[in-house]
Amino acid sequence: MEWFTEIDLYCERVGTAFWAEPINAISNLSFVIAALWAASSARKRGQFDISTKVLCLLGACIGLGSFLFHTTANLWSSFADVIPIWSFVALYILVVFLKLTGREGLTATRLLMFLPLLFISLGWIFISGSATQVSASTDALNGSGQYTPALIGLWVFALISIIKKRPVWPWVMSAAIVFTLSLVARTYDLALCSSFALGSHFLWHLLNGLMIGFLLQALIRIESTNSLKESRV
pTM of the model: 0.86
Contacts of 218 (CB under 8 A, 6+ apart): 168, 171, 172, 175
- For the chain, domain boundaries: 22-224
pLDDT tens-digit series, residues 179-202: 999 999 999 998 999 899 999 999
Q: What is the predicted pLDDT for the residue at 56?
A: 97
Class in CATH terms, 22-224: mainly alpha
pLDDT tens-digit series, residues 79-115: 889 889 988 988 898 899 888 877 656 665 666 666 7
Contacts of 210 (CB under 8 A, 6+ apart): 30, 34, 178
